[in-house]
Structure 1
Amino acid sequence: MYLEQCNQYLRSVELKKEKIGSFSRYPFSLPAIKSLSKLHFHPKVTFIVGENGSGKSTILEAIAIAYGFNPEGGSINFDFSSKDTHSQLHEYIKLIKGIKKPKDTFFLRAESFYNFATNVDELDKIVPGLFSSYGGTSLHNKSHGESFFAVFMNRFLGSGLYILDEPEAALSPARQMSMLSRMHQLTSDNSQFIIATHSPIIMAYPDAKIYEIKEDIREVSYEETDNYQIMKHFINNTDSMLRILLKDN
């Protein structure tokens, strides 16, 4: 187990609480940040889940930037910027890395994917043939979901560190299941994923660690997550749930 931890690309993240002057300002005012001390990453897949506004994307973004990724996504080599909206949390965390370095890297985020796709178009003018790494054509020539999936299926090469922020945002349930299959191929090829998600399908990947954000951050099982329990209850009790949700006031 120790050797496996040393070989993974990212082992853990720590919050440098001694550097934070006040927890009354964003993002330090978020309960998730206040309770953050150290998160240990799974050698294959780590999920960070929680309600909208809980801070999961903020934490994921900070991890990515601290590692050297462009805040708006892409590989380590991307340096485009349309508008700086990221927090300063990355300046207050410490990443504990393994002894191996990934051969491939990518930070995929739904929020700024359009800007990333535009930058790929611009780079293809400088480096002809770049589109071959993204399915053979401009990502703007595909639907949002198709372009997301094209990046995942074509650009992710294996032996890589992949940080994904809500990858399910543009994917149908069928595509999310295909994503699980591709994730398994990549983790079998020495890849590591850190993913913020709402999707009960994606977070079902079995060889993983799940951190759920509520009043604090804690490790939970798949069946313990709110996402799983709410979706299961809705599917198993659709009629009664709809009667409650659609009841006239």
Structure 2
Amino acid sequence: MYLRELHLLSERVGRPSAYPFNIPAIRGLDKLSFRSNVTFFTGENGSGKSTLLEAIAYQSGFHTGGGGRNNAYELASSESHLGEAIRLSWLPKTSQGFFLRAESFYSFASHVDEIAREDPDVYRAYGGRSLHERSHGESFLALFENRFNRPGLYLLDEPEAALSPARQLIFLRHIHELQRKSQLIVATHSPILLGYPHAEIYHFHESGIKPIRYEDTETYQITRRFLENRAFYLNELLEEEPEF
């Protein structure tokens, strides 16, 4: 493990009523400890999990649009107000790793192509060809298999976005191999990824950020209830509106 604790520095918080400090989970944050090689952030959309992951990336020196320390390209999300207001405690500190965010992956792939125009050997780190020449899921797996192979800190924001359930299972194997020598922090809605054994799961909620058991996560419970009671849920959700 590398990253041990995260502290929110109250003296660096801007207006508490302004984004992102007005997000309930962030507003109640004091410190967060990391006790496992694999940590998951889970919670509803807008709960702050991706925002905090981006702040960690910022303080780690990674491009907040996605990439490592040596990636520099223009993207609207290249600043992090929350990142300026946190302190990370390391033992030992690492400069190696990667920040993956699904929503800006296209821009990162284009950045790789731009570098490759000057140095085609760059593609070796991504399976030998442009990430744009594959499906979204294939390009994600190419990144996992070829770039995620050094000890370091890997921050992944919704990596399941491009992966079918079968490929999420393949990705679990990559997580398992990588965690032997690295630390991963993953923001996800996937009940498959959250099922990785011995991981620590933090639930982002209006009441704060708290550890949670896999079986108690909303993702697990909603998915299980739907699969076990599909007809009931569909009837409740899709029944026709009464005519007046």
**TM-score, length-normalised on structure 2?**
0.94
Q: Per the alignment, in what secondary structure is the counterpart of residue 63 of structure 2? A: coil
One-letter amino acid matched to 1:201: I
Structure 1: distance between partners of 2:65 and 2:75: 8
Contact 2:58–2:80 under 8 Å retained in 1 = no
Structure 2: distance between partners of 1:133 and 1:20: 38
After TM superposition, give the deviation of residue 21 of structure 1 in Å. 4.3
Q: For structure 1, list consecutive stretches of 5 or more residues without a partner in the other structure.
A: 1-7
Of 136, 146, 159, 1:154 maps to: 146
One-letter amino acid matched to 1:143: S
Deviations 1:165-207 (A, max 9, x none): 000011000110100011101112x111001000010111112
- 1:89 corresponding residue in structure 2: 82
Q: For structure 2, list consecutive stretches of 5 or more residues without a partner in the other structure.
A: none
- 1:47 corresponds to 2:27: no
After TM superposition, give the deviation of residue 247 of structure 1 in Å. 1.2
Deviations 1:96-122 (A, max 9, x none): 1112536x4111110110000001001
Structure 1 runs (4+) greater than 6 angstroms displaced:
none
- 2:190 corresponding residue in structure 1: 199
Of 91, 94, 99, 1:98 maps to: 91
Q: Per the alignment, in what secondary structure is the counterpart of residue 88 of structure 2? A: strand
After TM superposition, give the deviation of residue 86 of structure 1 in Å. 4.4
- 1:187 corresponds to 2:165: no
Q: Identity over aligned residues, as a percent? A: 51
Contact 2:58–2:83 under 8 Å retained in 1 = yes
Structure-to-structure mapping, 1:1-249, within 5 angstroms: 8-84=1-77, 86-99=79-92, 101=94, 104-188=96-180, 190-215=181-206, 216-249=208-241
RMSD over equivalenced CA pairs, Å: 1.3
Structure 1: distance between partners of 2:94 and 2:51: 24
Structure 2: distance between partners of 1:85 and 1:70: 7
After TM superposition, give the deviation of residue 130 of structure 1 in Å. 1.1
Deviations 1:76-97 (A, max 9, x none): 1111123246441000000011
One-letter amino acid matched to 2:235: R
- 1:5 corresponding residue in structure 2: none
One-letter amino acid matched to 1:98: L
- 1:4 corresponding residue in structure 2: none
Contact 1:73–1:112 under 8 Å retained in 2 = yes
**TM-score, length-normalised on structure 1?**
0.93
Deviations 1:9-53 (A, max 9, x none): 111111111332431111111001111111111331011111011
Structure 1: distance between partners of 2:228 and 2:204: 25
Structure 2: distance between partners of 1:66 and 1:164: 15
